[in-house]
Amino acid sequence: MEKAGKSRRRFLKAVAFVIAAGLLLWKFLVPKIAKKKPLLRVAKADIPAGGALVFRKSRVAVVKKGDDIYALSLACTHLGCTVNVTTREFVCPCHGSIFGRRGEVLKGPADRPLERLAVAEHGEFIVVLS
């Protein structure tokens, strides 16, 4: 009787172990990949040609250059301050990094260009995805 109880306990332990290991393995193998959500909706006509529309709150600049429209994140790639938009470039107030119109680094300490956000066209509107 005692022997049966022991083997049952061992069996239950094994089952619990297998379930726990299986759950961890499942979590590892099926990661939640964040779907891109729409962040902003901008009318194409609102973006000045050769200029940029700045959304300080969502830290995004929508830039139009010729026919090309792209969205740049305004978070400095150095330490994440919001960069200021001047007529020619993006200047970080914290450590003086300067980025060009296309987000490329003109002056450090930042070493990566400003992040480009995905944009989708919906007729007359541009939707910026985060």
Partner 1 sequence: MFKDFLEHIFPRLILEKNLRITYTFCFGGLAFTAFMLLVVSGLLLLFYYQPSPEKAFESILFLESSVPGGRFVRSLHRLTSHALLVLIFLHTLRVILTGAYRKPRELNWVIGFFILASAVFGAYTGYLLPMDQLAFWGTHTGMELIGTAPFGEMIGHFLVPDEVGRPVSLLRFYTLHIAVIPLTIAILCFLHFYRIRHDKGVLPYL
Residues that bind partner 1 (CB under 8 A): 24, 27-29, 31-34
Comparison of 1 and 34: residue with beta carbon closer to partner 1? 34
Comparison of 34 and 49: residue with beta carbon closer to partner 1? 34
Which residues in the chain belong to E strands, given as ranges? Answer: 38-43, 52-55, 60-65, 68-73, 84-85, 90-91, 98-99, 105-107, 116-117, 119-122, 125-129
Strand 116-117 with 60-65, pairing = unpaired
Q: How far is the CB of 9 from partner 1 (least distance, A)?
A: 27
Q: How far is the CB of 26 from partner 1 (least distance, A)?
A: 10
Contact between 94 and 79 (Cβ < 8 Å): yes
- CA dihedral (73, 63, 86, 94) in degrees, to 10, reads 10
User: Which residue reads 């393995």 in tokens?
Assistant: 25
Comparison of 29 and 45: residue with beta carbon closer to partner 1? 29
Q: How far is the CB of 76 from partner 1 (least distance, A)?
A: 20
Comparison of 26 and 67: residue with beta carbon closer to partner 1? 26
User: Which residue reads 């330490």 in tokens?
Assistant: 79
Q: How far is the CB of 38 from partner 1 (least distance, A)?
A: 21
